[in-house]
Amino acid sequence: MRTHSLFGLTSLPRTSTAGFLIFALMLVSTTLYAATTLRVGNKVLSVGDSAVRVQQVMGNPAVRAFTSPQTGRMPTNQLAAGEQWQYAQDGKTIVITIIGGRVSNIETLYE
């Protein structure tokens, strides 16, 4: 079995290291998926859409988290500079990041 060394230290065989790296990348890619669009029924939500459009398509979020520290309490109808809205959907969590009243990121977290 041939091994490779870096700075005089013996490491795992190249095939084991490559296999581990591929496994790790597959694990990460199946738990988090970022997209620029999200299909909800027959509607599509896209990066750049307004927060109002998100509420029209998705409804009110189950969780509303601020991405920057807030001072004081904000009314529920007012947006912070940056927010993440979370929705539970078919065994996964949809996280929509809203910055300046617009969708900046859409992520799907698989449970």
Q: What is the pLDDT of residues 25-76, one digit of tens each?
A: 555 544 556 778 999 899 999 999 999 999 999 999 999 988 766 556 655 5
CB within 8 A of 56, min separation 6: which ones? Answer: none
Burial class (CB in 10 A: 0-12, 13-18, 19+), 45: buried
Instruction: Residue 52: give its domain's CATH number.
Output: 3.30.1450
Structural domain tally of the chain?
1
CB within 8 A of 70, min separation 6: which ones? Answer: 80
- CA-to-CA distance for 4 and 93, rounded, in angstroms? 42
Q: Determine, yes or no, domain membership for 12.
A: no
Q: Determine, yes or no, domain membership for 66.
A: yes
Give the domain range for residue 56: 33-110
What band does 79 get if pLDDT is binned at 50, 70 and 90?
low
What band does 96 get if pLDDT is binned at 50, 70 and 90?
very high
